[in-house]
Chains A and B, each alone.
Chain A
Amino acid sequence: MTGNQIITILKSLTILVIVKWFFVVGLIMYSLFAVVVIKQVSVMSETVDSSVNSVMKLFSWLHLAMAILLVVAAIVML
């Protein structure tokens, strides 16, 4: 990358673009948290057998799906 190209990129940066990438990075971190939640829900489910366990597992996967969708939406829409 030449010096001119770096200057062009820096000139195109606006506050909104910076905010957009803050959003994206934040949402990626949130998605990683959602992966941890899936693991944790499965550990919690092992503790006591109950009909709620399958609902919780389903929710944790839906939560991850929604988090990933939000990352995509943030990249596309913002």
Chain B
Amino acid sequence: MPDIYTSVTSEASPKYMAPVENAFNKELSQSKSWWKEVIAGVLRGVGETPRKARWGSYMVLPSHHFVTQQEDEEVVLMLRAHPVTNFKWVVTAIVMLILPTLLENLGVFNAIPFKFLFIGKLTWYLATLMFSVEQFMHWYYSVFIVTNERLVDIDFVNLMFRVITYANLNHIEEPAMVTGGIFRSLFQYGDVFVTTASEKPTIEALGVPWPQRVVDIISRLSEELEKKRERGE
């Protein structure tokens, strides 16, 4: 084998590749540890600790990962609509469940042969089940995520459409919240709106628990990022 091959493989790779990789890793780990301190400070400032509340609709420092999450990105908050917002579809599903029995007792189906009624009822119950699961999935997978770098809003309009909106924390204006009404005051949930300079001017988290805390955390993280940029880091 000519010398050129052996010289490249035996000398160049360990000698020149290793320092570049180490420098990158060092920078990454420094950035990570800096962020960990900042996140801990922000959470301490608003009186939060890593936790999961309201049936997983308010998670502080969760272990979950999301699609397009970057290596040095850490999830600070993962939010869903408050569980009480599911009330409407739960009631609808219950009504759908009892409707066939109710109509049968009223004698509406008397003229229909049993086998048609049987298959019809099975189809109805399967559709009811699918409706409930679709509504649950819509609630469960529509999340609003606050990371150390950006805001991520994942919305499922229905089973067919997914909309993901991002906003960098250093490109956002002052976040705002809206709450009010009996239900919202009673269960402490509301809407969070964050104005951005991008094409889609507002990123929103609707019906999330403790909106004032969410706004507070976003503001503080954004402020820390701004300070970092001013220092030229």
Minimal beta-carbon separation of B161 from chain A (angstroms): 10
Interface size class of B (residues with CB under 8 A): 20 to 34
Q: Which of B66, B130, B133, B134 contacts A47 (CB 8 A)?
A: B66
Asked whether B44 is an interface residue with its Cβ less than 8 Å from the other chain, the reply is: no
B181: interface (CB < 8 Å): no
Give min CB distance, B159 to chain A, whole Å: 5
Q: How far is the CA of A48 from the CA of B141 in the complex (A)?
A: 7
A30-B162 CB under 8 A given contacts A47-B66, A49-B65: no
Contact between chains at B67 and A19 (CB < 8 Å): no
- B119 lies within 8 A of chain A by Cβ: yes
B89 at the interface (CB under 8 A from A): no
- Residue of chain A at shortest CB distance from B158: A40
- B65, B119, B162 pick with most chain A CB within 10 angstroms: B119
CA A7 – CA B219 in complex, angstroms?
77
Main secondary structure of the interface of A (DSSP, over half): helix
Report how far A49 CA is from B133 CA in the complex, Å: 18
- Interface pairs A-B: 6 shortest CB-CB: A44-B141, A40-B159, A48-B66, A49-B65, A77-B115, A47-B67
Q: What is the CA–CA distance of A40 and B130 in the complex, to the nearest angstrom?
A: 13
Q: Which of A43-69 contact B (CB under 8 A)?
A: 43-44, 46-50, 52, 56, 59, 63, 66-67
Chain A residue nearest to B141 in the complex (CB): A44
Choose one: A16, A43, A52; the contact of B162 (CB below 8 Å).
A43
Instruction: Tell which of B118, B119, B130 touches A37, judged by Cβ atoms closer than 8 Å.
Output: B130
| A41-B137, A44-B156, A66-B126 known; A50 vs B116 contact (CB < 8 Å) | no
Produce 1/0 per residue, B102-130, CB < 8 A to A.
00000000000101101110110011011
Cβ distance B153 to chain A, nearest Cβ, rounded Å: 12
- Beyond A27-B123, A48-B64, 4 additional pairs, beta carbon < 8 A: A30-B126, A49-B66, A70-B122, A77-B118
User: Is residue A73 within 8 Å, beta carbon to beta carbon, of the partner chain?
Assistant: yes
- Nearest to B138 among chain A residues (CB) is A44
A sample of 20 cross-chain residue pairs with beta-carbon separation below 8 angstroms, ordered by A number, consists of: A16-B116, A23-B120, A27-B123, A30-B123, A37-B134, A37-B159, A44-B162, A47-B141, A47-B143, A48-B64, A48-B65, A48-B78, A48-B143, A49-B66, A63-B126, A63-B129, A63-B130, A63-B133, A67-B126, A78-B115
Most buried by B among A19, A26, A36, A47: A47
